[in-house]
Structure 1
Amino acid sequence: MGEWSPEATGGEWIEGAAAAAVGAQFKGTNKTATHNWESIVTVDVCDAPRKFSFSLHAAGTHLCDWVYEIEPSTTGCQVTHAWVASPQWAGFEEAGIGEKISGVPKRAPHNLRSMEITLDNLIKAVK
């Protein structure tokens, strides 16, 4: 992911995980122009090669899910990349916690743009 994403720079499996599997955790590394941070996430769906998703929890609160879906198309495949904020996300953002961690005050528009860049970079990589 680090080679395509403008924000996610890499990750490593933790807690004894060696590969993607439901329940496995990994520590992702991220950066913006002003901040670097790590997030520990849990794999929720691992249906290779069709769907992969993971969730971010902090302080015992589910904050969001990242979802990647791959479907066959007439020209190869279609990749859908989504960020789904939980109902608790608004309070997290209103408290300014996300901005303190990442330097991003409004995550939804930022993530939309980042996902567009990621998908564009993925297309370039496979051509």
Structure 2
Amino acid sequence: MADKPNASGEIEVGASAETVYSLISDPGVLAELAGEYTGYRWLDGAREAREGARFRGHNRNGFRRWSTVSTITDAARGERFAFEVSAGPFAVSRWQYDIEPAEDGCRVVESTWDKRTSWFRVVTGPLIGVFDRDGLNTRNIAATLRRLKERAEA
């Protein structure tokens, strides 16, 4: 994995790290907060977010729809939640949420790394109508973090 993410954003949230973690580690809640990601189904008998658990994510961009499989790689309550996304045998991305204490709650950093090979980027971009993945992810992260803040502080 490259050190620097392709897209990232951060926000201070007036809620505990535990509260924020419970929201972002729930794939259903995350779907309510996110841009393209719209829903999920646990796989292999999983029922909760834990390292190694997998879920099928459903995504949408305009009229285009697709699904991916995510494997949770980090589930450190109140600190980090992360998962690797694939489409069949192809790596797609890594999404990571880091939570740090702040004066009035916590600071959340959402980051993503594009793990697609160059030929896979050329094929998938037009198929899902995204020609500037990094730009779209940056905008989606900003919106997701705003929604997370609103929900956690409510």
Structure 1 and Structure 2 fold alike (TM over 0.5) = yes
Whole-angstrom distance in 2 between the partners of 1:79 and 1:54 = 16
Shift of the 89–110 alpha-carbon distance from structure 1 to 2, 3 Å rule, reads: farther
Whole-angstrom distance in 2 between the partners of 1:17 and 1:64 = 21
Whole-angstrom distance in 2 between the partners of 1:45 and 1:30 = 22
CA contact (8 A) 2:83 2:96 kept: yes
Deviations 1:19-44 (A, max 9, x none): 11111100111111121221111111
Give the superposed CA RMSD: 1.6
Write the letter of the residue equivalent to 2:78: P
Percent identity over the alignment? 29
Q: Give TM-score scaled by structure 2 length.
A: 0.73
Among 58, 62, 76, the residue aligned to 1:47:
76
Answer 1 or 2: higher relative contact order, Cα 8 Å, separation at least 6.
2
Q: Which runs of 5+ in 1 are unaligned?
A: none
Indicate the SS of the match to 1:64.
strand
Among 90, 94, 103, the residue aligned to 2:118:
90
The reply on whether 1:110 has 2:139 as its aligned counterpart is: no
CA contact (8 A) 1:27 1:39 kept: yes
Deviations 1:60-89 (A, max 9, x none): 232310101111100201111111122x44
- Larger relative helix fraction: 2
Whole-angstrom distance in 1 between the partners of 2:149 and 2:107 = 10
Among 28, 49, 55, the residue aligned to 1:26:
55
Q: Give TM-score scaled by structure 1 length.
A: 0.87
